[in-house]
Chains A and B, each alone.
Chain A
Amino acid sequence: MPQTPELAAAATNRLSTVLARVLLLAWVPCLVFVLATLMTGHWVTLPTPAVGAPGLQTAIAALAVGEPAAPAAWTVCHVLYSGCRCSRRVFDHLQTAERPAGVREIVLLVGDDDVAMQNACTARGMRCVRLDRDQLQARFGIEAAPLFVVADPRGVPVYIGGYTDHKQGLDYRDAAIVDGLRRGDTVAALPVYGCGVSQPLQAVLDPLGLKY
């Protein structure tokens, strides 16, 4: 039976409507899922190694070898990840804020070779140690960044946590934490918000690989 142009147009129109609905039906849950994965890393409190984790003290102590500071000095270690915006903000803070005197500050920089960051650290009197994420996890047991680690003059880690009270807050507490520890105060660890550095953690936080 011959089909008139009007009937053909109507059939095409019906088909396109059905296709659009089907596509929409698939597209909407996909978007919900994608956006959820995008948000996951922002809201989760990232894992940190325990203060007494085996190997961590050794690794921290090893960082102090060859440092110009007195052997009895406190060691402050900033674990940063170059691909992480939160790490960058901490780095910017380190570049501008007054640094505590009499402490040994070391930046553990993971990620792409960023010469500018290294130079900036050196200029601020901080030693920059570059390593990859596997080394970070293997030697220090650290999977997330930015992470703030403080070790006493004996090289024993006494603080492992975040920099701010709130997620991506402006009030960096690193100097205050160091002062408190040096006075002998008990300082609670702040939560760590930022990026997963180790591959397993990234796989959890960003299953679609959109962020990392």
Chain B
Amino acid sequence: MTDLTSNQPSLLRRIFGAIVLPKTVSAFENSYLERMNKIAMGFFYAHLPIFLLIAWLNDTDPLLTAILTTAVLLVPALGSRAFTSQRTKSLLFGFTSMCMGGILVHIGQGPVQIEMHFYFFSVLAMLALFANPMTILVAAVTVALHHLVLWYLVPASVFNYAAPLWVVLVHAGFVVLETFAACFIARNFFDNVIGLEKKVEERTVEIRRRNRDMRLVLDNVQQGLVTIDRTGALSAEHSQVLERWFGTYTAGEKLGDYVGRKSADFGTWFALSWESVTDGFLPLEVALEQLPRKVAVGNQHYRFDYQPIVDASGTLEQLMVVVSDVTKDMAQAAAEAMQREILAVFERILNDRTGFVEFYEEAGRLLLASAPGGEANLATTKRHVHTLKGNASLFGIESVAQLCHAYEDTIGEGDTPAMATAYEALRSRWQALADTVDRMLGQRAQDQVTMTGSEYESLLRKVVDGANHAEIARSLAELTLEPTEIRLGRFAEQARALARRLEKGAIEVDVAGNGVRLERDKFAPFWSAFAHVLRNAVDHGIEPPEQRTECGKSEVGHLRLRTLEHGEDIVVELSDDGRGIDWQAVRARAEAMGLPHTTDADLVDALFAPGLSTSTQITDTSGRGVGLSAVREACLALGGSIQTKSEPGRGTVFQFRFPLAVAKETTVGA
């Protein structure tokens, strides 16, 4: 059944396709044919003297031989003038060769005349060198025409030896067979040698086109794309945007050096971590994780992603590096984070306006006091910043806490441009926050007086019972003081939130204000610094739930916050049931810092010394050894004292004692 849908070309079309070469002539083919045409021309010109010699030896009219040979040679000579295409010129040699064969047969009369016919078969085969079946076909057609003319002139001459028709057909069959074979050879020669070059050229053109397309992509893609080899050297191909971001690109330069021109930290980090990628000690995925992922150049931020290109054995051959400009993403993320913070602040204000206002005002004061080049020394500045960081963190303003952390990193190096830059970043962020917070707070009611129901009942009873005016006045005056119950409650809430963030699980916090009130403004720095003690208790004191279980403790950590009047003192106490203070570590650190460390009192003093921390890691929560020194300074500023009791595995108690006269100076004086 005929397949009507078949796209197979017909036999005739296939034969035509095999005989006729593609129109396009490659430079290589043209050059080859030019050379071949010259050789052929020389070859056929050489026929003239040889034919003359044969004619002379054979007594077959040398003059006629000279004339005829020259007449035939005129054909390629005219062809070289008539055509520019080397392929067309080569076709004429098919005709020329057959004519030369005719002359040779004529002049080679005698017993060898029949042998002269081998010339035709030899030359037909030689024509395959032109790599063009058409040249051979021209020769075959010439022979056919010759026989047609013979037949026309003297029909019997075609049937020589009085041969029958089938003999003539056998004769023609051999010619056709050789023509077919020669055409086949010529076409294969073209396809596999001459045309191969053309195919290579076509493919090269295609590759160039693709390269051009790829270049277009690389020139316009808004991502940095490049590969590096095992030495970390950049490949030549890269997206154009890299040069806009990181400057002039030089193939072979190390990626670390290239980006390092804009960010030295990146360069150093990359150089160090690249060694671990190539030395093969770490699993590749792990080693790649060590490579720097972010870099900031001016106000621009870039993210680096790495895609390994490995061989069959999994060995890294190249690394594809994709660089993305994440400036907008980061700005958006920062804006979203700020929005979240604003919402958190708004919630705080709704829940505990007084507490937030206090934090806000205290934070503003600390920020001003922390400015580089200010009156405070570096240690004090560091304490201020640390306190601000802690409080900001407790109030959920993480952006400020992070900028405080960054600022802290620069303070140890003195008054440097880096410090100024970090402070400016912190100040700007705070100012942006303040603009919003100020609108939220509106008119601050600082002259409000807050009292609990029991306080109201107590005061009312004094009036009804006819208490003297001085006592009633003192009670009324005390209402202007801040009840510690509220503040401790605020700390409790912050402690729980911090515990969740530090994965300490849910903790229990007991609060007992015991009716104690303290002067708000006077104690504001203390409460601000007290936050450090609270955070230390959660971060270092309370163990993770699983660790507590192993120690035979309740899974839930426990904190107690209380204030009380004790004799002539006001006591602020924080206790936890955590792991306790590692006094050995304190001793070791004190010794290392040159501090007294022989007695228990020495160790307690050392605990509150600036810079002493038993933590081996600095986090954004603690670890710098600043917090306790800050709280001690604030405590001492109020004429207070600190008592510390800690037992390994059982917990720690911090007691801050303030003279009653100082704590309630306003009311006592009243």
Contact = CB atoms under 8 A, between A and B. Distances in A.
Interface of A: 16-17, 20-21, 23-24, 27-28, 31-45, 85-86, 88-89, 166-170, 191, 204-205, 207, 210-211
Contacts of B654: none
Nearest to B76: A24
A36 B110 contact: no
Nearest to A33: B149
Contact of A32 (B64, B106, B142): B142
Given A27-B74, A45-B162, A191-B162, A36 B113 contact: no
B154 interface: yes
Contacts of B64: 210
A9 to B, nearest CB: 15
A39 B157 contact: yes
Given A27-B71, A42-B157, 4 more contacts: A31-B72, A31-B95, A44-B156, A168-B109
B201 to A, nearest CB: 28
B31 to A, nearest CB: 22
B71 A168 contact: no
Q: Of residues B81, B95, B142, which shows the largest number of chain A Cβ atoms within 10 Å of its Cβ?
A: B81
Contacts of A42: 105-106, 109, 113, 157, 160
Contacts of A210: 64
A36 B81 contact: no
Contacts of B92: 24
Contact of B160 (A31, A45, A86, A170): A45
B108 to A, nearest CB: 10
Contacts of A27: 71, 74-75, 78
Contacts of B78: 20, 23-24, 27
Interface in B78-137: 78-79, 81-83, 92, 95, 99, 102-103, 105-106, 109-111, 113-114
A207 B152 CA distance: 12
Interface in B145-181: 145-146, 149-150, 153-154, 156-158, 160-162
A24 to B, nearest CB: 5
B451 to A, nearest CB: 112
B322 interface: no
23 contacts: A16-B81, A21-B83, A27-B74, A27-B78, A31-B72, A32-B146, A32-B149, A34-B71, A35-B146, A36-B146, A36-B149, A42-B113, A43-B158, A44-B160, A45-B156, A85-B58, A88-B59, A89-B110, A166-B114, A168-B110, A168-B114, A170-B111, A205-B154
A119 B95 CA distance: 47
Chain B contact patch, size range: 35 or more
B60 interface: yes
A46 to B, nearest CB: 10
A35 B100 CA distance: 9
A32 B145 contact: yes
B379 interface: no
Nearest to B143: A32
Contacts of B82: 17, 20-21, 23-24
Contacts of A41: 157
A32 B113 CA distance: 20
A198 to B, nearest CB: 15
Contacts of B111: 168-170
B156 to A, nearest CB: 5
B79 A35 contact: no
B506 interface: no
B408 to A, nearest CB: 83
A34 B71 CA distance: 10
A153 B81 CA distance: 69
Contacts of A167: 113-114, 160-161
A37 B154 CA distance: 9
Nearest to B152: A36
B99 A35 contact: yes
A168 B517 CA distance: 147
A36 B150 contact: yes
Contact of B102 (A38, A86, A204): A38
Contact of B146 (A39, A86, A191): A39
B296 interface: no
Contacts of B146: 32, 35-36, 39
B68 interface: yes
B72 A40 contact: no
Given A35-B102, A44-B160, A85 B59 contact: yes
Leading 6 A-B pairs by shortest Cβ distance: A36-B149, A20-B82, A43-B160, A35-B102, A20-B81, A44-B157
Contact of A85 (B60, B71, B161): B60
Given A31-B72, A168-B109, A40 B157 contact: yes
A35 to B, nearest CB: 4
Nearest to A165: B161
Contacts of B150: 36, 39-40, 43
Contacts of B60: 85
A41 B146 CA distance: 14
A34 B162 CA distance: 23
A166 B142 contact: no
A146 to B, nearest CB: 13
A40 B106 CA distance: 10
A85 B99 contact: no
A44 B158 CA distance: 7
